[in-house]
Amino acid sequence: MIAANKTITEFLNKKNVFAVIGASKNSEKYGHKIYENLKHAGYVVYPVNPNSDNILGDKCYDKLNDLPIKPDVVNTVVPPKITENIVIECKKLGINKIWMQPGSDSKKAIRFCVQNRIRVLHDICLMIESKKLKK
């Protein structure tokens, strides 16, 4: 667990730029809550969702490749099949940190990350872990 804690701390470093895949306008959805949590915590964070123009007043991007800068960490809040495509896109873009929210992960996506030396967190919630760091 020490290695996992170190990885979580490295992912949540305030210097990291985040992209939230599946960010949502709907305040009831986790994609909204995670984006809002990161934004209010002071991270540079970009919402990615082809079905939204803006979220919390910020421009929303259709895909990772559209972002003005390459994120350090990609957080997925989408169905597993979409995550499986996102990890391939991350490899092409040279993004090597992916945090799959519970329910967004799949064995196939995790295996792809491991095989391609992409650091991956899964089965743990970003919001819960970020609150633990504040304590």
- pLDDT by 10s per residue, the chain, length 135: 445 688 999 999 999 999 999 999 999 999 999 999 999 999 999 999 999 999 999 999 999 999 999 999 999 999 999 999 999 999 999 999 999 999 999 999 999 999 999 999 999 999 989 887 765
| Residues forming beta bridges with residue 75, ordered by sequence position | 20, 99
Q: Which CATH number describes the domain made up of 2-134?
A: 3.40.50.720
Which residues lie closer than 8 Å to 8 by C-beta, 6 or more apart? 121, 124, 129, 133
85 vs 44: CA distance, rounded Å: 24
- On whether the pTM is more than 0.85, the answer is yes
DSSP string over 50-96: TT-SEETTEEPBSSGGGSSS--SEEEE-S-HHHHHHHHHHHHHHT--
Which residues lie closer than 8 Å to 126 by C-beta, 6 or more apart? 12, 34, 37, 38, 75, 99, 101
